[in-house]
Amino acid sequence: MKLVLYLDMDYFFAACEELRHPELKGKPLIVGTSESLDSGKGVVMTCNYEARKYGIHSAMPLTMAVKLKRDVNYIHEDWDYYQSVSDAIMARLREYGNPLDIMSIDEAAMGIGEMDRDTALAFAKEVKKAVQDVSSLPCTVAISSGKVFAKMACDSAKPDGLKVVMPDEVMGFISGMDIEKLMGVGPKTADKLRSIGIGKISQLAGADPMVLIDALGSFGKELYLLANGTDNSRIVESYDVLSISREKAIDPAGSAAEVYPLMEELSRSLIDEINKKGFWFRTVSVKARYEGFSERIKSRRLSNYTDSLNTLTETAKRLTDTLFDGKKVRKYGVRVSTLIKSKGQKRLF
């Protein structure tokens, strides 16, 4: 039976922020969608475990979160930064050479073939350490017989967890759980199942499949198979968060025009590499590190995949113009991401 490894970063955005704001470590922290906590709008994107102790959780309105913990620390979300951390993690996972299915900015499933229990456990440990080495962030890694069960094993082991559920252990692992724990079962599906007397995964496993199909259509059949230990979910390889970048320390520059020649040089080098590797890109980013170490990344998603040097330099030029507003730039970089393999693909334009 082929196994799947599942990685889920723990409280990812908040952990990223703790990394660059070490003074916030150990204190309740919210990363949210509004500029400020007292704007009266916005929701919690992620919060750390210290904030969860006060009952705060993701998707909660900020107005409610602040009632639970008045002096909670707050940071406005910074997707470019989280994406760059994610890119480094996913690039590290790709080094194993296994099929990789990137599920979200902080979750990935890897097809790892057949292994015995000891080998699987050692491999999970090794991947967890590699991810921590490359990111300095906490994560949970689990292995089981399919994407769904591996994800469930991962959820059950959070935070900072490590878990292996071998194929012959799956039934024991899932049967005592409530149906909501089965991936894909949301509140609506759970209500429907409860209305026909099914509240536990073990009850789902013992139900008449025809009754389930009546209630839920073909999804009912999938759930029946899952509840009986069969996980047919597939690893779909993705390339889209991989990125390739170039950056260089420079003499402090005060205007965009001063870095245009460097931008063109870095862009040519990027295009060489993506041609060699057979990729097209769809996102262009430029990055500046300013005097005093603050950084800014500006990104733009194009309407099509491309490998055009001209498109890259024109886009990077426009983005670069927005990086200069008085402060001097001492390090400058260009990145392409949202990559696909060009081989065998049709051009979209």
Nearest to 115 by CA among 70, 80, 150, 145: 145
CB of 12 to Mg ion, least distance (A): 5
Least CB distance from residue 147 to Mg ion, whole Å? 15
Which pairs count as long-range contacts for 211-217, CB under 8 Å and 24+ apart, including other chains? 216/189, 216/192
Comparison of 161 and 220: residue with beta carbon closer to Mg ion: 161
- The residues that bridge with 164 in the sheet, in sequence order, are 143
Q: How far apart are CA 324 and CA 278, in angstroms?
A: 33
Task: State the DSSP H helix or E strand holding residue 215, giving kind and residue range, or none if neither.
Answer: helix 209-216
Q: How many residues bind Mg ion (CB under 5 A)?
A: 4
- Tokens matching residue 113: 């073939």
Contact set for Mg ion, span 2-61 (CB under 5 A): 8-9, 12
Query: Which residues, numbered 101-130, are part of the site for Mg ion (CB under 5 A)?
Result: 106
12 versus 149: smaller Cβ distance to Mg ion:
12
Q: Which residues are catalytic?
A: 107
Which residue's CB is nearer to Mg ion, number 3 or number 141? 141
CA distance 282 to 324: 24
CB of 99 to Mg ion, least distance (A): 21
- Considering the complex, state which of residue 11 and residue 279 has its C-beta at the smaller distance from Mg ion: 11
Residue 63 is encoded by which pair of tokens?
């107005």
Distance CA 245, CA 189 (A): 44
The answer to whether the beta carbons of residues 231 and 148 sit under 8 Å apart is yes
User: What is the smallest separation between the CB atom of 11 and Mg ion, expressed in angstroms?
Assistant: 7
Identity at 155, one-letter amino acid code? D
Q: Which residues bind Mg ion (CB under 5 A)?
A: 8-9, 12, 106
